[in-house]
A and B are shown apart, each in its own frame.
Chain A
């Protein structure tokens, strides 16, 4: 099973709202990732969790707050977003193998629109 699931599929929120994106995988992967993708651009890494610990934060604004409650779940909490944060938010997971051999599998994404 190479499936990563994400909810919701679509989200529309105002700039004062608080919302959360959820990601789940049952592949036994111990590394999970959040990416942001704008139209016609490649995915941009936001955060990496390895063994449930935050290992990489790509200088993401604090209005994005990640959380990894357990090895299967990854959340992204959103607060006071700006319209330019509208994008496709992708979750991915992989085995944290050594030597860089970490095939990352992406979920279907959440299409976020900030009004």
Chain B
């Protein structure tokens, strides 16, 4: 069974620090990797996607993919209180667009 694992948290970081969120997946056939941010009571918002090994940067966000070790991570630099949310890791196996989600990591950024 394909699984995606995340630490549930909560992960607490001070304002201005780097928040590091990690995700591991079980199936080496995984092809695409996504990070969604979800505020309480709202819908998931796509913030990063990565398809190839290495790093991908977008503003304060960096996604890192290591297919050999089967993990994907999200770094948030200069964390702000507005980054406080649940971060969902999702993996696609090219099965008709089906995404497998991790349980989510709750991030709290303290002023």
Interface residues of A (CB under 8 A from B): 31, 33, 41-43, 45, 48, 50, 55-56, 88, 90, 94, 96, 98-109
The digit string for B62-87, where 1 denotes a CB below 8 A from any CB of A, is 00000000000000000000000000
Cα A33 to Cα B102 in complex, Å, equals: 18
Interface residues of chain B: helix, strand, loop or mixed (majority): loop
> What is the CA–CA distance of A94 and B99 in the complex, to the nearest angstrom?
12
Q: Which of A99, A105, A107 interacts with B46 by CB under 8 Å?
A: A105
A48 touching B43, Cβ below 8 Å: no
* Pick from B93, B98, B102: contact of A56, CB under 8 Å: B98
Is the CB of B25 closer than 8 A to any CB of chain A?
no
The CA of A33 and the CA of B103, in the complex, are separated in Å by 19
B-side residues, CB < 8 A to A, are 31-32, 34, 36, 42-46, 49, 51, 88, 92-99, 101-104
Instruction: Decide: B92 and A102 in contact? CB cutoff 8 A.
Output: yes
A84→B21 CA distance, assembly (Å) = 32
Docked CA distance A103–B36 (Å): 11
Cβ contact within 8 Å between A107 and B43:
yes
Find chain B residues with CB under 8 A from A88 CB.
Answer: 43
Starting from the known contacts A56-B97, A99-B51, A109-B42, 10 additional A-B residue pairs (CB-CB under 8 Å) come to A42-B102, A42-B104, A43-B99, A43-B101, A56-B98, A99-B94, A101-B31, A102-B97, A106-B44, A107-B43
The contact of B44 among A31, A43, A48, A50, by CB within 8 Å, is A43
